[in-house]
Amino acid sequence: GAGAGEGVSVAGLEIAPVDPGVVAAQLDLYLSVLSGGEGQDWQLELTYAADLFDEPRVRRLLDGLVGVLELVTADPSMLIGDLPI
């Protein structure tokens, strides 16, 4: 995976971390996906409870998500049950 502060590219998608500053998590782990509209970038935002998750663990979770995105974009016919997760 990418190191701290580095972005990755998945099938033409650019994924990069953004530091929103201090945000209080209302849920233990929350992933939101925001669409900028047609032709615009999508934004994934992950908020987590720092007393339950540390940054390395969250990075591993995101690396797993990137792996799944790479697989399904490489083979859109892949069934969810066939994903190695």
pLDDT in tens, 25-47: 688 998 888 877 777 777 788 88
Please count the other Cβ atoms lying within 10 Å of the Cβ belonging to residue 48. 19
pLDDT at 2: 43
Q: Does pTM surpass 0.75?
A: no
3-state secondary structure of 70: helix
Across the range 4-9, mean pLDDT stands at: 64
Residue percentage of the chain with pLDDT more than 90? 13
For the cut 80, the answer to whether the pLDDT of residue 6 exceeds it is no
For the cut 80, the answer to whether the pLDDT of residue 72 exceeds it is yes
For the cut 80, the answer to whether the pLDDT of residue 85 exceeds it is no
Contact between residue 31 and residue 60 where contact means Cβ atoms under 8 Å apart? no
Q: Which residue has the tokens 């720092």?
A: 50
